[in-house]
Amino acid sequence: MTTPGETTVTRTDGLTSAEVAERVSRGAVNRLSERTSRSLGQIVRANVLTRFNAILGALFVLVLVTGSLADGLFGIVLVVNSAIGIAQEYLAKRKLDRLALLHAPTTRVVRDGQVQVVATTDVVQDDLVELRTGDQVPADGALVTSAGLELHEANLTGESDAVAHGEGDEILSGTTVVAGSGRLHARLVGADAYVNRVAADARRFTRTRSEIQASIDTLLRYITWVIVAALPLAIWSQWRTVGDQGWRQVVIRSAAGVVGLVPEGLVLLTSVAFLLSAVQLTRRRVLVQQLPAVEGLARVDVVCLDKTGTLTAGDIAFEDVCVLPGHAADETRCALGALADDPDANGTLAAIRSAVESPGWTRVHAVPFSSARKWSAASFAGGATWVLGAPEVLLGAGQPTTESTALRARVGELAEAGRRVVLLARSEEPLEAPTLPSDLAPAALVTLTEQVRPDARRTLDYFREQGVAVKVFSGDNPVTVAAVARAVGLEAAEPLDARSLPDDDAAVRDALRAHTVFGRVTPEQKRAFVRALQADGHVVAMTGDGVNDALALKDADIGVAMGSGAQATRAVAELVLLDDSFAHLPDVLAEGRRVIGNVERVANLFVAKNAMSLVAILAAALTAVPFPFLPRHLTLVSAVTIGIPAFFLALGPNRRRYLPGFLRRILRFAVPAGAVAGVAVIVSYLLAGSRYGVPVDEFATRCAVEAGVHTVSGVACSRPGSGATITLLTVFFWILAVLARPFRPWKAALLAAMVALAVGAFLVPAAAAFFDLDAPLPLVWQSLAIGIVGAAVVEVVYRTSPSVHAAHLLPD
């Protein structure tokens, strides 16, 4: 409990369990109402309350009012589609949410006098939060203690330089600790915190751009306007043609035309493809934080890597310390152990600490390591100041001498051998600010080793085969980075020291075109490199694990973080490699390509049907004939040539490389192919009516409608529609065959099964009666002949569209 004169701000033992429970009960917690995935209610609404469902639902009710239940079959399909979409998304959501919860960000808090790790959402008001390098600040408040704590506040202020904060300073949520450590009194949490109050998007990456979703949205917009224009035309033409038979026939025929214009399963299959890809990737230990990222990585043509944790295993091992002449070996080794004895040690210091014993010296002042400075330092009671950092940085602080030149040469030799080298230097000046002392004297070279990942070469070979360029950005010595890059098969003939680059966009872009490996790269430079590549027209993926990678990940088209990486880095990434295995990136690339290629195939099928219906509506209006189909006919055709095959094609394997122009290719093939099908249908309908059924000019007077079933001298009135259905099936089976290329046994089996179902609908008496089909053998041959001609024209359309043809010839 709080003692007299003490508050929750000044207490060093943090809140008690009872105080935490009291704050939770009144809602003073760090939770927000926003969700990372849709709730069940939102899923249901998204799958049910759509404009196309509204159109189909209204038509379904009207058809039911006519008494023709068979022609309302499309309504049942609509319900089934929505139910499948809801079930699939909900099951996928549960899996992804459980995994996301398992890997949710955590925060260290002091409670009941003990440091505890809790979910960031469980931080409560007045908690004493312990901050370390790589943490995101979870709440607003004042620093109770600070040990060289520095924050990157670009998310909130736009300033790129780290800002030092001392005890008593107010700091804001959403900022990132880039150096040092400290303890924070959490004054404002949850919705009251600054980052949630004014800049919720500052904490997370901008929504990933999805070419597929943007293209589908554009298609749906076009189709909506087509329906708005075609609906009154369909009603007018059918009223003029069959209006004397009563309103029921007008409703049924008009509904058939409009139902054909609605791509009822396109959005469903696109969503399911994304979701199931995300679930599939979780089985490979890849957490997808934004679904479009699966597609996005397939569009990437440049992958930017950090050496440590990506090309190497990330576990740095201490190798040796070489004490330089003029320095006592014992004192130098003790100084190294004292510097490594840091509760907020980075990877280098942690490796040294595991091998060099600390002498227990008392620190007077310290400057923590930061990626921007590339050094850390400490002054000790009764002793000197010791600095540990990059040799180039520490040696560059003074005038070149014979000794420093020789030392640089030695560092170069070690770096070429793939060693990581840091320099230990001594100064007699007190350490009073985060600036290097002026009298630094090199005392020892410390060498460390990193293990190259066994799967790195195979992964880089895969990217090279797929035409994806690789760039390596590292804070280490460029010679060391190049040695590691060569060890994994990457061409790194001329590594570049990023410190030599001017602050000029054109120079940076030229350097990126000419070089593959960059060393001594600062966090801000990584960000500039990503932007320069994007300015050159590249789609960029950035991988990383440290807080120094967060800015670049945030700006990249796709950010990929290691599961063991800094909290700030994981928070801005679209993909998290949970087991830190860089080898999973080809899996993600393959999933993205599968989604893009398969959704393109599916979209072609739906758009071709829409184009066919529009042409049929226009032709029926111009020739003053009834719409060629009843709704039940289109339900049959849609099921066997689009709906069922599309489901399998959307989820099947596909290794086709990504090609830009998704929407353009769809429109260049599907619209002409659908128009061909529409013309073939009208020709078939007119010929069938004049030769095997009731002549077109007599249809309105001789065909009566009873509950939507045609009767006159047997079933003669159903023959034109049956012939048109055979023709449409023929053309659309060929469209399906074109889009399924290149053929595989499972695709051939799928196509054969669908043809068998279609034939069964004509041959099985109960099915023929239900679908109102009657086709004498001569009519079958005539309709097939027209359909074959239409299929041949579709083949010509396909082969004269170079980009479409090339896309589907790529192997899958």
Residue 221: CB partners within 8 Å, gap ≥ 6? none
Tens of pLDDT along 128-145? 999 988 788 989 999 999
DSSP code, position 741: P
Helix (H, G, I), strand (E, B) or coil at 226: helix
Band of residue 311 on the pLDDT scale cut at 50, 70, 90: confident
Structure tokens at 60: 């379904």
342 is catalytic: no
Q: Name which residue leads in pLDDT, 193 or 761.
A: 761
Tens of pLDDT along 178-197? 788 899 999 999 888 876 66
Half-sphere exposure (CA, 13 Å, Cβ side) for 735? Answer: 38
Tens of pLDDT along 106-122? 899 999 989 999 988 89
- Are 665 and 807 in contact, with CB atoms under 8 Å apart? yes
Tens of pLDDT along 476-535? 888 888 888 888 888 877 889 888 888 888 999 999 999 999 988 887 888 899 999 999
| 104 residue type, one letter | A
Structure tokens at 64: 């039911």
For the ranges 100-104, 330-334, 590-594, the one whose mean pLDDT is highest:
330-334
Confidence (pLDDT) at 472: 92
- Tokens 């120094």 found at: 548
d(CA 76, CA 110): 58
Please state the rounded mean pLDDT for residues 664-670: 89
Please state the rounded mean pLDDT for residues 630-659: 83
Q: What are the backbone angles phi and psi of residue 695, rounded to the nearest 5°?
A: -55, 150
Please state the rounded mean pLDDT for residues 578-592: 84
- Tokens 């002549």 found at: 695
Confidence (pLDDT) at 123: 92
Name the strand (E) or helix (H) holding 462: helix 456-465
Please state the rounded mean pLDDT for residues 620-631: 81
Burial of 661 by CB count in 10 Å (0-12 exposed, 13-18 middle, 19+ buried)?
middle
Confidence (pLDDT) at 326: 86
Confidence (pLDDT) at 705: 38
Question: Which residue in the list 306, 549, 555, 812 is annotated as catalytic?
Answer: 306
Band of residue 714 on the pLDDT scale cut at 50, 70, 90: very low
Percent of the chain predicted with pLDDT > 70:
85
Our separate counts of H helices and E strands in the chain read 30, 23
Structure tokens at 478: 């460029």
Confidence (pLDDT) at 88: 66
Max CA pair span of the chain? 116
Confidence (pLDDT) at 44: 83
In angstroms, the Cα distances linking 59 to 62, 224, 357, 631 are 5, 15, 80, 10
Q: Decide if pLDDT at 390 tops 80.
A: yes
Band of residue 715 on the pLDDT scale cut at 50, 70, 90: very low
- Tokens 């249901």 found at: 44
Please state the rounded mean pLDDT for residues 327-340: 90
Confidence (pLDDT) at 728: 94
Confidence (pLDDT) at 538: 93
What average pLDDT does the chain have? 81
Band of residue 727 on the pLDDT scale cut at 50, 70, 90: very high
CB atoms inside a 10 Å sphere around CB 170:
13
Q: Decide if pLDDT at 712 tops 70.
A: no
Q: Name which residue leads in pLDDT, 724 or 288.
A: 724
Confidence (pLDDT) at 184: 93
d(CA 615, CA 315): 65
Band of residue 426 on the pLDDT scale cut at 50, 70, 90: very high
Beta strands in 382-456 (DSSP E): 385-389, 420-427, 441-452
Confidence (pLDDT) at 641: 93
Does a cis peptide bond (omega within 30 degrees of 0) precede residue 742?
yes
DSSP code, position 705: E
Structure tokens at 124: 């409560």
Cα angle 631, 635, 639; round to 5: 170
Q: Decide if pLDDT at 721 tops 50.
A: yes
Band of residue 729 on the pLDDT scale cut at 50, 70, 90: very high
Q: Decide if pLDDT at 200 tops 50.
A: no
